[in-house]
A and B are shown apart, each in its own frame.
Chain A
Amino acid sequence: MTGLGVRMAAVLFLRYALRLLAAWCFAWGLAVLLMRAVWGIASGPLLWGTAGLVPAAAVACVLALRRTPSRPALRAVLDRASGCGGLLMAGAEVPLGAWHDRLPAIGRPGLRWRSRPLIIVTVAACTFLVFSFAIPRRYVAISPHRPLNIQGEVAEFREQIEALREEQIIEPQQADELEEALARAAAEASAENPAETWEALDHLEDAVTKAAADPAEEALHQTEQLGKAESLARALAADADALKPEAMTAAMKKLAEMLDEAAAENEALREGGFQQALEGCKAGGLSAEAALELAGCLGLSKEAIAARLGRLVEARLIDAELLQMNELLGRCSGEGLAAFLAEAGGLGLPIEDLIEQWLVAAPGYGGIDRGRGDAPMTKMEPARSEGTDFTEQALPPATVADLKQSRLLGVSLGAPAVGTDAEPAAFGALKGTAVGGGSAHTYVPLPRHKRTVRRYFEREAATGADAPPSKPRTSP
């Protein structure tokens, strides 16, 4: 019996110990992961948690002892298992006498414990605990700094800065500074404070866009100048014979001014035959071939500027509309200018004015053109009201207000005078009444008229009844 009790206690202890061990392993593993992830505690100092096994074993021991069957219960089990038919149980209560020697052999009842599920759970719990200790910290660390995903924006800014650097729009030092600022913003970008990051990027965008805006504007201006100069050069090359010598000289002078102005803004123009052509213009001896060569040179410069602007457009530093505007401003119309000069040259106007008028002509500003006549909108004088008369018109009287709220205060003493020439009223309260009907029509005063009517009758009473009013009146 003692053996069975010990076996039962051992099995129960083992059962409770495994359950508590599994629970402890799961709980402690979770705590280890938490401490390592949040506070970054190393694995070594956390080994003190193994001390929890001691109280777990103590609790298991207590639980097993409380669950272990009592001696009478164990005796009953042995009686049943050995087929004693109650003799073993009775032996503990009363003397068995001769039956004591006839007791069957007491066997060992089998003790079965379905331990496999518990063992599996315990092994899993232990594995989890080992895992919580062994896993590298970088996999469990919960970083307080969560980066903001701005990779796309950074790449775009980097491309723009590179474009500005390549096009020599900004100095290399300024480009380096911009790149450093961009790198710093990318490194400090945090999801906890995205506004700061976006603000930094906005500053960068502002700086980059401003850096690109001035060269773009300048490029547009240069293109416009080059386009005008090219137009004049091509006009001179196309129809130089149609102009008078004085006009030709003036035109070349004008062209020289334009070339000077363009060269002042674009040093690259001075290379090649530009300088020679400029001298020729200033001397008034620019040949048609030289003018044509000069026009080609100017066209190439325009293309270079357009390519530069295209690079900026690709980098999204300027709008594509600026590129279109650049093409529009650089449009060359040498044949048209030549025809205009040939036609208008005979009018005696100064050739400089004609050229200027032609070059500045633009839709909406008039100008001399045979095209459509666009004109600016002009507002006239506003209309005045002085001296204006209005036709007077009599309006019909208002209808009598609702009488439902009226109250009769009195009736005049005199009889109403019946008119003879009156016609039936066409509107108002007496509308449709018969003329001379003989009955006095009584108006019921409205509430807002009561006081007036009362004053009338009070005054009448004060002046005496012998002095009736000259004319019978009804209340209004």
Chain B
Amino acid sequence: MTGSPTVLQPDELRPASELAAQALEQIDRSLLGQEELHRMVLIGILSHGHILLEGVPGVGKTVLVKVLGEVLNLDFGRVQFTPDLMPGDILGTHILQQTPSGEREMVFREGPVFTNILLADEINRASPKTQSAMLEAMQERAVTLLGKTRPLPDPFVVMASQNPIELEGTYPLPEAQLDRFLFKLQVDVPAVEVLDEIISTRRRGEPPRATWSMSAEKLASLFAVMDRMYLPKAVSRYISRLVAATHAGAAEAPEIVGVYVLYGASPRAAIAIAEAARAAALLAGRPTVGFEDVRAVAPAVLNHRLIVNYKARFDEVNTFAVIDELLGSLDEAGLDLPQDVHVSGEAEE
């Protein structure tokens, strides 16, 4: 997607931007204290991306998905992944059924994957066989069983969650499946003030029902606006340089990449950054993608795609530290200035 040849005009952009802001407001009202997370999740959905949520139990991952379904007026399905979960339990299966005429035939019974938002709860507890059943659904947005391919509803978003603790008896997601997630977001524990507000204002912690929901037409118009968000060449160049620099040995790779990164990000990461940056620009009310949009979404896109080596584990260097260093060292404009000459980011009045 290279963007439209013209820039969205303000009267075209404003309704979509306000729509997205209203959806975000509804989500923020239902779930307290996770505004940045909600923003990134909405960016992910607008980008047609799948999201991997990582956090300890009880921080509101399931509630978030449920609220999203209500606000965006989308079907919502949930699968609790367990070690004995089979692919047919997710994708669906054929059953022998008697027709009203008395004949018997194999009828396909859709699985929970046939929905708009699928919450794959604790996805790393399922076996690799079951996890791999999600690959086609996530990438092709279709399910093929017994030689017949069935498209999934549009939009189709997988929101998977995994618990960073209790790793015993889990199956770490393969890199191929991790790469299919647009974002990997950390769901943190709310602050004390947020917890106090939740306890004091909500009975049994149940979030208030959404007072507003987006119609399917509006959601479609939102996706249509997304397609017209303009990506300047300098920004697309910056995204390309950023992804290329995640590989050790690249010309612009900082030293930390050479030391700690085993494998860099794939081209899918560059596509994901571009898409997510468009959504970020839409939420910011701009028709064009700026460098700040790229910088905002880059950590969520890259953190699960960079594979660090054992030295990084020994030195307790995680992928976020590598990405921070990467963003700090790479000049967005691509200026090839000497080291002792520097252009400050802030303009002087």
- A89 proximal to B (CB < 8 A): yes
C-alpha spacing A83/B290, complex, angstroms: 8
A161, chain B: closest CB distance, angstroms: 72
Q: Which residues of chain B are near A90, meaning CB under 8 Å?
A: 7, 230, 232, 287-288
A238, chain B: closest CB distance, angstroms: 110
Chain B: number of interface residues, binned into ranges: 35 or more
Q: Which residues of chain A are near B333, meaning CB under 8 Å?
A: 69, 73-74, 76-77, 80
Interface residues of B in 328-349 (CB under 8 A from A): 332-338, 340-349
- CB–CB B286/A85 < 8 A: yes
C-alpha spacing A72/B234, complex, angstroms: 7
- A115 proximal to B (CB < 8 A): yes
1/0 per position for B1-27, CB-CB distance to A under 8 A? 000011101110000000000000000
- B105 proximal to A (CB < 8 A): no
- A55 proximal to B (CB < 8 A): no
Interface residues of A in 398-423 (CB under 8 A from B): none
1/0 per position for A1-42, CB-CB distance to B under 8 A? 000000010011001000000000000000000000000000
C-alpha spacing A146/B235, complex, angstroms: 72
C-alpha spacing A115/B344, complex, angstroms: 16
- A106 proximal to B (CB < 8 A): yes
Q: Which residues of chain A are near B231, meaning CB under 8 Å?
A: 86
- CB–CB A109/B341 < 8 A: no
C-alpha spacing A72/B334, complex, angstroms: 10
- B188 proximal to A (CB < 8 A): no
- Given the known A-B contacts A80-B291, A109-B347, A110-B346, are A67 and B286 also in contact in the complex, defined by CB atoms under 8 Å? no
Q: Which residues of chain A are near B281, meaning CB under 8 Å?
A: 85-86
- B187 proximal to A (CB < 8 A): no
- CB–CB B9/A99 < 8 A: yes
C-alpha spacing A81/B288, complex, angstroms: 16
Interface residues of A in 192-212 (CB under 8 A from B): none
B6, chain A: closest CB distance, angstroms: 6
- A84 proximal to B (CB < 8 A): yes
- B292 proximal to A (CB < 8 A): yes
- CB–CB A81/B347 < 8 A: yes
A83, chain B: closest CB distance, angstroms: 8
- CB–CB B234/A85 < 8 A: no
- CB–CB B343/A109 < 8 A: yes
A271, chain B: closest CB distance, angstroms: 99
Looking across the interface, which residue of chain A has its beta carbon closest to that of B13?
A: A99
Q: Which residues of chain B are near A109, meaning CB under 8 Å?
A: 343-348
Chain A: number of interface residues, binned into ranges: 35 or more
- B122 proximal to A (CB < 8 A): no
Looking across the interface, which residue of chain A has its beta carbon closest to that of B230?
A: A90
Q: Which residues of chain A are near B293, meaning CB under 8 Å?
A: 85-86
- B317 proximal to A (CB < 8 A): no
A104, chain B: closest CB distance, angstroms: 9
- CB–CB A73/B288 < 8 A: no
C-alpha spacing A110/B346, complex, angstroms: 7
Q: Which residues of chain B are near A73, meaning CB under 8 Å?
A: 234, 333-335
- CB–CB A86/B235 < 8 A: yes
- A458 proximal to B (CB < 8 A): no
- A97 proximal to B (CB < 8 A): yes
- A187 proximal to B (CB < 8 A): no
- B152 proximal to A (CB < 8 A): no
Interface residues of B in 224-259 (CB under 8 A from A): 230-235
Q: Which residues of chain A are near B53, meaning CB under 8 Å?
A: none
- B284 proximal to A (CB < 8 A): yes
29 A-B pairs whose Cβ atoms sit less than 8 Å apart in the complex: A8-B341, A15-B340, A72-B233, A72-B234, A73-B335, A76-B234, A76-B291, A80-B290, A80-B333, A81-B347, A85-B288, A85-B290, A86-B230, A86-B231, A86-B232, A86-B235, A86-B289, A87-B287, A89-B234, A93-B232, A96-B7, A98-B11, A99-B10, A107-B348, A109-B345, A109-B346, A110-B347, A113-B341, A114-B342
